[in-house]
Amino acid sequence: MDLSAMPSQWQAENTRARIIIFRLQRNHDNYALLPLNVFINKDYHASLYPEHQAVGVSVCPGAASLVVTPGNRKHGIVGLAQGTNAVTPALQAGKTYFYQIAMDESGNAVGRWVDDAQAKAVLASVKVQAHTLSRVEGHQECPSASYMLNVSALFMFDKYNVEGFLPGATDNIYRLARKINADYQSINKIVVVGHADPLGDWQRNQFVSEQRARTVMNQLMLAGIPASKLSARGVGSTTLAITDCNKYKKRDDVIGCNQPNRRVEVEVYGVKNAEQSKDGKATDVAFDSSVTK
């Protein structure tokens, strides 16, 4: 059963961001019977029908992947790969964001970010979905800070181990380790996450992202971060920072556009020193401004 909208449903927690996804009924909609399935960071969250429905989700600060894919009433959820991938803005803790979804005349999923005042005026008459079986972890621990290492400061093209390091790569990682040790009074865990762009074979991109994350993790260990606090994983090209690089025709332009997608992020979970934690929000720190695959 859907519920009437209440202002409290739009409020975000102090340490998390909130996204409200909504769909409005359209006159003469050829796809009125088809649901739109919503995925957050690859996890299924809800299916919205064109019956004035909205659904909220609580997420960690920072950028997130939001995929909307058409489904049908009989088969429900369809493959994530069939959806349209959107990247959220840099989500801030304590703030709410509004995203409207629809189907175009060809049956493709489309979406747009809507400002607060416009969205709240519309949502006053929209039912909030209360029966979704979300697979998004709404209460998972969020990192205290997320530090980004640009790949071009670390690796030669398509390389992923220490033999493929560029000059200064080790110093760059050691500098990050010193900053982490200086900023935190205690550390629960550190997760190193490797990302790749969507160019080429996805299996190769997944492998490279995993190996780069593992290489950075090992260097952080050598720099003095306890091994018991460290873990590494690769996500391939599943969480893109930029999604519209196919608008370019020349390969060099496509490669350049995809620079932000080739990165290694170091997520730190712990207690910051007092002067480092006044706002309690996660921080993105870039250690270099250029990127390669």
Q: Note the pLDDT tens digit of each residue in 236-270.
A: 888 888 888 889 999 899 988 888 888 999 999 99
Which CATH number goes with the domain that contains 110?
2.60.40
| pTM, rounded to two decimals | 0.69
Final residue of a structural domain among 84, 99, 128: 128
Same domain, 212 and 84: no
Query: How far apart are alpha carbons 160 and 215 in whole angstroms?
Result: 7
DSSP E strand stretches across the chain:
3-4, 17-23, 36-40, 43-48, 53-59, 65-70, 84-87, 96-103, 109-114, 127-128, 145-150, 184-195, 230-234, 263-272, 284-286
Beta bridge partners of 157: none
Domain encompassing residue 228: 145-286
pLDDT at 37: 87
Count of domains for the chain: 2
Place of tokens 């033999």: 163
Co-location of 162 and 252 in the same domain? yes
42: region left, alpha or beta (phi > 0 left; psi from -120 to 50 alpha) = left
Position 293 in a domain: no
Residues 220 and 165 in one domain: yes
Kindly report, residue by residue over 167-214, the tens digit of the pLDDT.
999 999 999 999 999 999 999 999 999 999 888 888 999 999 999 999
Give, for all 293 residues of the chain, the pLDDT tens digit.
Answer: 555 556 667 788 888 899 999 988 765 556 666 788 898 877 888 888 777 688 888 888 887 888 888 876 554 444 444 556 677 888 888 899 999 998 887 778 888 999 999 998 888 878 777 666 677 766 678 888 889 998 878 888 788 999 999 999 999 999 999 999 999 999 999 999 999 988 888 899 999 999 999 999 999 999 999 999 999 999 988 888 888 888 999 989 998 888 888 899 999 999 888 766 554 444 444 454 333 33
Rounded CA separation 291/233 (Å): 20
Q: Is residue 291 part of a domain?
A: no
**CATH code, domain carrying 254:** 3.30.1330.60
Q: Is the residue at 44 inside a domain?
A: yes
How many CB atoms lie under 10 A from the CB of residue 286? 13
Q: How many CB atoms lie within 10 A of CB 154?
A: 28
Tell me the C-alpha distance between 203 and 219, whole Å. Answer: 25
